[in-house]
Amino acid sequence: KKREGRPNMCLADFVDRQNDWIGGFAVGIHGIDPHILRRIFDPFFTTKDVGEGTGLGLSISYSTIKSHGGDIVVTSEEGSGSTFEIVLPVAADR
């Protein structure tokens, strides 16, 4: 049952043992407006009301994932859904 303001989520993970990668993805039922989508990883960008959020969550996530040699990719179709895929190396290059 969907609660107002809370998208339903489907979480999954995978391991690519051949290439030493781990990853996961989350799928929500709400799509993201294309004008918003291109800014979601920008620091301090938020669609929430003043005082409701800092706009740092996805920016910090993006920076942390990148600093560990990984990647985060979002695909979205407004009104249909969004998929966030995160891929990380099992071990950092030495």
pLDDT at 1: 36
Taking only the tens place, the pLDDT of each residue in 14-29 is 777 777 777 777 777 6
pLDDT at 2: 38
Confirm whether 1 is domain-assigned: no
pLDDT at 30: 78
Confirm whether 70 is domain-assigned: yes
Work out the percent of the chain whose per-residue pLDDT is above 90: 34
Domain of 75, in residue numbers: 9-89
Q: What is the largest CA-CA distance in the chain?
A: 47
Confirm whether 94 is domain-assigned: no
- What CATH number is associated with residue 45? 3.30.565.10
52's tokens:
């409701």
DSSP state of 93: -
pLDDT at 8: 62
Q: Are strands 9-16 and 71-77 parallel, antiparallel or unpaired?
A: unpaired
Q: Structural domain tally of the chain?
A: 1
Confirm whether 2 is domain-assigned: no
